[in-house]
Structure 1
């Protein structure tokens, strides 16, 4: 244990990071021709292939994404005590046939459970689900929680259907019955491979802006679409502070106040704010001013610490420092969200 790790542990509750993706070696090739596949290009650059999408220049092997020993060392150096490991957003495979997707998710979740068992005091795992078939997704979530000991469901912002599609209610009901949260995170891959909007292919905007747009759409579906109203005990955590949610919350509220045919009665009666404050949101927003706005709009009772650990925009120890005195509250919240007692 590093000195920094020891000091942080003595100073308050364990620092819990809920936004940490993993690339699982045992899942490679589990989606058949779609991969995932690791390799090296003729020019010597590493690549990671998912279907027709190829990510060049990112070396997963030997990094915290794939090497648990490297991950634990990096967690110690950053002062992070526990992490919820989640699927790589590149490998949601929402466009695969249902049978192949179910097989991939089963292999992924088996590998995730095996990984977290190597460090049960440091790591927890989230289950990937075959969203092509909601019945299969419910069954896989039940297996993952009851048999494998995983701690959450993990889905995309656009898992092949709208988040407020009535067909999704069975999954939400299952999560409530199993007493696990549902995490929602975008993918940079569009329906046909790379991002569908050609404007998003410039300047890495699929990551810099596309994620925020998708997360805001997810918030709208959960609130306007009545998911949180229909499932009052459901815990949903949206990545990156809910995208632009804090900035557009006033416009959302105004829309519910002005007569519009699509506004449901529960929003006319209750307003938007109670539902926005029902959402769990991670603090991976990169800016003190953005975090201040998020706290002002969402409050602190359902904010949790997230880093995108080891990713292109992760902050390591700096991410811990950025939230400052808010960390004890974030840690307590994360323990509550993940049912850590």
Structure 2
């Protein structure tokens, strides 16, 4: 059996941006120290904006979390009983720049950096490609590059480009992802400056997690899975206990419109969600079923979703059957990511 970590991370470093074109060098993000001298972390400076580098698992060796030494990371994965990781970014958890040229430069450089890392150990790692959503004419190029270089999904935040993810602005992206058999991976993050800045003092619940849960609701309510019948969608790193509330709300709204609501909203819409070991899984399964749950460690991070032992604990806890554990650790992520 192959144990799959469906949500792991890389911590970017300054070499991430070495793949920028010569004409883009002025856009290269720089690491700067906090001005107060009291911050326990530093910052990225990009396009005049500072982005905290605070969600870093400092209990992990730098070479492992930055994937600069894959042998060290793989050794740790072996110790944790993890056979395979799907890698998500860290830099792109927040909005980066309002300028399309900067957005394109950092996205394209990150994608080439990740491709070069993953191709060294393709039997242990895959990754999700970051589309330059402010430059829609370049999205197809990046998705095709990702598909050809080990990407198994398309990274989105709960809100993107000041729009909800059901907005027609993204229809071309969904068409292209469907054609390439790349699932949409909506990760706990926010790409909209308006709401991100409004929730400046929020610890991450409103600006990140609720944005992603709202994306699930919006996808189902507006029939995006029906409009794109081959598209798979993942809702990643927001736990799973929200599902019953969202499904209950959607079922009432569908009833008011005289539209039948599916018995299993996840399965019938090809939507997969990550769970956590401390979720009430018996309750979650009543709404999710058995075939659309996956789990990740959040490897590399230090937020409240990080659980480095999650995959091992899911089995050792004994809360759910061994058969269902096997589905969550192998069968379901294999189906979702097309591994």
Residue in 2 that maps onto 1:156: 157
Please, which runs of 5 or more residues in structure 2 have no aligned partner?
none
SS at match of 1:52: strand
Q: Distance in 1 between matches of 2:39 and 2:8?
A: 27
Residue in 1 that maps onto 2:62: 62
Q: CA deviation at 1:154?
A: 0.8
Change (3 A) 1:19 1:78: same
Change (3 A) 1:181 1:257: same
**Count of aligned positions:** 313
Q: Distance in 2 between matches of 1:273 and 1:131?
A: 34
Question: Does the 8 A contact of 2:10 with 2:66 survive in 1?
Answer: yes
1:102 maps to 2:104: yes
Residue in 2 that maps onto 1:191: 193
Moved more, 120-129 or 188-197: 188-197
Question: Does the 8 A contact of 2:296 with 2:310 survive in 1?
Answer: no
Question: Does the 8 A contact of 2:292 with 2:332 survive in 1?
Answer: yes
Change (3 A) 1:189 1:171: closer
Change (3 A) 1:57 1:167: closer
Change (3 A) 1:91 1:288: closer
SS at match of 1:283: strand
Q: CA deviation at 1:73?
A: 2.6
Residue in 1 that maps onto 2:171: 169
Question: Does the 8 A contact of 2:159 with 2:191 survive in 1?
Answer: no
Residue in 1 that maps onto 2:335: 336
Q: Distance in 2 between matches of 1:337 and 1:49?
A: 33
Q: Distance in 2 between matches of 1:61 and 1:329?
A: 31
Q: Tell me the alpha carbon deviations over residues 217-266 of structure 1, each in whole angstroms, 9 at most, x when there is no partner.
A: 1011111122111011100111134672333311221121124xxxxxxx
Change (3 A) 1:47 1:243: farther
Alignment of 1:1-341 (within 5 A): 13-25=1-13, 26-28=15-17, 36-41=29-34, 42=37, 45-50=40-45, 51-56=49-54, 58=56, 59=58, 62=62, 64-67=64-67, 68-88=70-90, 90=92, 93=95, 95-146=97-148, 148-160=149-161, 161-187=163-189, 191=193, 195-197=197-199, 201-202=201-202, 204=203, 206=204, 208=205, 210-239=207-236, 240-241=238-239, 244-259=242-257, 268-277=258-267, 278-289=269-280, 291-312=281-302, 313-322=305-314, 325=322, 326-330=324-328, 331-340=330-339
Question: Does the 8 A contact of 2:95 with 2:190 survive in 1?
Answer: no
Q: Distance in 1 between matches of 2:189 and 2:198?
A: 12
Change (3 A) 1:276 1:336: closer
Q: CA RMSD in A?
A: 2.9
TM-score, normalising length: structure 1: 0.81
Q: Tell me the alpha carbon deviations over residues 92-130 of structure 1, each in whole angstroms, 9 at most, x when there is no partner.
A: 646432122112111111111111112111101111111
Question: Does the 8 A contact of 2:7 with 2:299 survive in 1?
Answer: yes
Q: Tell me the alpha carbon deviations over residues 32-90 of structure 1, each in whole angstroms, 9 at most, x when there is no partner.
A: 67754335554584413253232458458715320334422321222111011112154
Q: Distance in 2 between matches of 1:99 and 1:232?
A: 32
TM-score, normalising length: structure 2: 0.81
Question: Does the 8 A contact of 1:128 with 1:154 survive in 2?
Answer: yes
Change (3 A) 1:63 1:281: farther
Q: Distance in 1 between matches of 2:156 and 2:242?
A: 19
Residue in 2 that maps onto 1:9: none
Q: Distance in 2 between matches of 1:91 and 1:315?
A: 18
Change (3 A) 1:87 1:56: closer
